[in-house]
Amino acid sequence: MRPSTSYKTLWAELLPFEFKQRLSECPVVYLPLGLCEPHGQISAFGLDTIKAEWLCREAARQVGGIVAPSMGYHIHETGYHARWLEETVGEENPHMTSVPPAVFLSLFLYQLRAFVHAGFTTVVVVSGHSGGNQRDLRHAADVFMKYVAVQVWVKSDPELVEGLYEGDHAGKYEISQLMYVRPDLIDLTAKDYEDEPGSGGRLALGSDAGEASPELGKQIMEACLNRLCAEVSRMKREAAAVRTPRISYDLIETILREVLQNAADWVTANPWPGQDEVSPHSQWKPYERYRIP
């Protein structure tokens, strides 16, 4: 008799028979999204990806399903990001793994194709990078679902706890999260580097980061997880047991063209209404209003 595989949830670690067993029990795939960007001198660059991975792994353990390889690249620089980067990073090198919106959304659609071909009927996308990017992902997912009979659910982690906690960037909320899930990736003494020449200063650290604690992080992450598990349980009940035919590249390109038709209205393409313009000399000025080349 083969040993139980209940403890293994990562697609990359599953053997073929283990994958098929988990898939038959729960045809849900989780896609953790994040990127590397500065979260102050005290925190690891990959905070966004790390918390998304934690949520997906824990949900798969509790509710079932398989965790796809993480997407450690995300939309940044463009639209509303540009002014924020000018204010919080300035002319420093932020060491980010950012990609343009059209590139990211194109890859996202091909990832959805791969998930459907693998046999999943429900795709759960958890983005640790928030602020508005998730809205463009939801738009792409909505267009995909017009053509393909599959559930695609996209949320950022702050959206999972709306009304309970308020998300931030490298502040009390996010630093607490990492303190809980990966305390080894927080070094509060590194704050001293802020005053060293060439260090980059605060590097987007939130003003209330000093109020962060692992206890608060535990509360936030457990609340996120509870909501995530509840939603996945609901989608499992509602998922249609249909066999989707193979999806051609041509169909994905058709879907992509429809997504691109509304590129000027993407959240990540423009500044927020009323947001100050980026200074003409800033390194972020060219990306303030994103247009597909």
Q: What pLDDT, in 10s, does the model give residues 95-109? A: 999 999 999 999 999
Q: Is the model's pLDDT at 242 over the cut of 90?
A: no
Mean pLDDT of 54-79: 98
- Residues 155, 127: contact at Cβ < 8 Å? yes
Residues with Cβ within 8 Å of 257's Cβ and at least 6 positions away in sequence, in order, are none
Q: Is the model's pLDDT at 137 over the cut of 90?
A: yes
Count the Cβ atoms, other than its own, within 10 Å of residue 113. Answer: 20
Write out the CATH class of domain 11-166+222-263: alpha beta
Q: Is the model's pLDDT at 128 over the cut of 90?
A: yes
Mean pLDDT of 193-213: 93
Q: Is the model's pLDDT at 135 over the cut of 80?
A: yes
DSSP reduced 3-state for 143: helix
Mean pLDDT of 254-270: 96
Residue 199's pLDDT is 84
> Please, what's the b/e burial string for 65-94 (b: 16 or more CB within 10 A of its CB; e: otherwise)?
bbbbebbbbbbbbbbbbbbbbbebbbebeb
Would you kindly state where each structural domain of the chain is located, as residue ranges? 11-166+222-263
At residue 64, φ and ψ (nearest 5 deg) are 105, 175
At residue 161, φ and ψ (nearest 5 deg) are -125, 30
By mean pLDDT, which of 62-76, 184-198, 275-289 is the weakest? Answer: 184-198
Question: pLDDT digit string (tens) for 204-228?
Answer: 999 999 999 999 999 999 999 999 9
By mean pLDDT, which of 57-61, 211-215, 231-235, 241-245 is the weakest? Answer: 241-245
Mean pLDDT of 26-41: 97
Q: Is the model's pLDDT at 260 over the cut of 90?
A: yes
Mean pLDDT of 168-191: 97
